[in-house]
């Protein structure tokens, strides 16, 4: 695809308002003869597509089935939203109930739409599926080779029994989030966690599984990650088999105004 094909301007629709030019982070748009034009440098962020008042902008290489009217987050009560964030807990007890595909799709969609630096969109999501039990077995075997191995990652393992479901806690669904950049993948993971919570699901970030992918090449290889990707997070997801009654306390809020 040619560089100018990333964004296509329908000159018959364009009214030359300049909104797309003003909002272009890469300065890849300009006005000529009262019409928007595209030059090299486009990072395919989609701002021009989203802001055009007459729909004159197209991005031919992209699926636009989700590109409907905007829902502003101000429509969600901010007090309720913040209270929900404060109320969330890491879940380690799960019911033996599968997660519906519709909810899985929403969680993955939230990750897809999380922001990435320079619009790199370089985050990938690996659903363990049929490999989940096999990979957990390998991880359990690895940690059982000696407390000293696990203790490198957590001193608490000295007092912990490495059960057969130590890593995934009997949850029915596991997503591994990977990328070239840890920040992008972490942001996507947070979007996915909050979406899962909103769907009545619990989430555990399994740092132990991520550690296993670093010390056992066989485990990482089984994930078949995109070239150059590293495992950043592992989200254990399912219906909670535990209920919390109140918000857990936090340490003093560390804020500094310069």
pLDDT tens digits, one per residue of 214-242: 989 999 999 999 999 999 999 999 999 99
213-231: buried (b, 16+ CB within 10 Å) or exposed (e) per residue?
Answer: beeeeebbebbebeeebeb
- Tell how many helices (H) and how many strands (E) occur in the chain: 9, 8
CATH C-level class of 73-238: alpha beta
Percentage of the residues of the chain whose pLDDT score is greater than 90? 87
Using CB atoms within 10 A of its CB, is residue 24 exposed (0-12), middle (13-18) or buried (19+)?
buried
Q: pTM score, two decimals?
A: 0.90
Q: Please, which pLDDT band fits residue 149 given cuts at 50, 70 and 90?
A: low
Average pLDDT rounded to a whole number, residues 87-110: 97
pLDDT score for 5? 77
Average pLDDT rounded to a whole number, residues 175-188: 96
| Sequence-ordered strand ranges (E) for 14-102 | 29-32, 35-38, 57-58
Average pLDDT rounded to a whole number, residues 168-186: 96
Question: Domain-by-domain residue ranges, the chain?
Answer: 3-58, 73-238
Averaged pLDDT score across all residues of the chain: 92
Cβ contacts of 207 within 8 Å, gap of 6 or more: 153, 234
**CATH 3.90.76.10 at 3-58, yes or no:** no
> Which pLDDT tens digit goes with each residue over 23-47?
999 999 999 999 999 999 999 999 9
């Amino acid at each position: 695809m040619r560089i100018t094909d990333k964004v296509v301007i329908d000159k018959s629709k364009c009214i030359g308002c300049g909104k797309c030019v003003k909002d272009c982070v890469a300065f890849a748009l300009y006005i000529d003869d009262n019409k928007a034009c595209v030059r090299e440098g486009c990072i395919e962020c989609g701002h021009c597509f989203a802001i055009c008042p007459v729909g004159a902008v197209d991005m031919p290489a992209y699926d636009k089935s989700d590109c409907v009217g905007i829902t502003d987050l101000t429509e969600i009560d901010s007090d309720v939203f913040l209270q929900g964030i404060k109320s969330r807990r890491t879940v380690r007890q799960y019911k033996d109930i599968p997660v519906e595909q519709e909810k899985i799709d929403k969680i993955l969609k939230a990750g897809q739409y999380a922001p990435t630096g320079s619009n790199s969109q370089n985050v990938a999501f690996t659903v363990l599926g049929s490999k989940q039990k096999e990979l957990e077995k390998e991880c359990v075997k690895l940690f059982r080779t000696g407390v000293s191995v696990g203790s490198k990652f957590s001193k608490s393992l000295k007092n912990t029994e490495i059960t057969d479901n130590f890593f995934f806690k009997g949850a029915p669904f596991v997503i591994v989030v990977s990328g070239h950049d840890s920040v992008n993948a972490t942001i996507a993971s947070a979007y996915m966690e909050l979406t899962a919570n909103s769907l009545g699901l619990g989430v555990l970030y399994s740092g132990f599984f991520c550690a296993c992918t670093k010390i056992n090449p066989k485990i990482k290889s089984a994930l078949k990650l995109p070239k150059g990707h590293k495992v950043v997070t592992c989200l254990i997801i399912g219906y909670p088999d535990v209920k919390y009654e109140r918000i857990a306390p936090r340490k003093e809020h560390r804020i500094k105004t310069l």
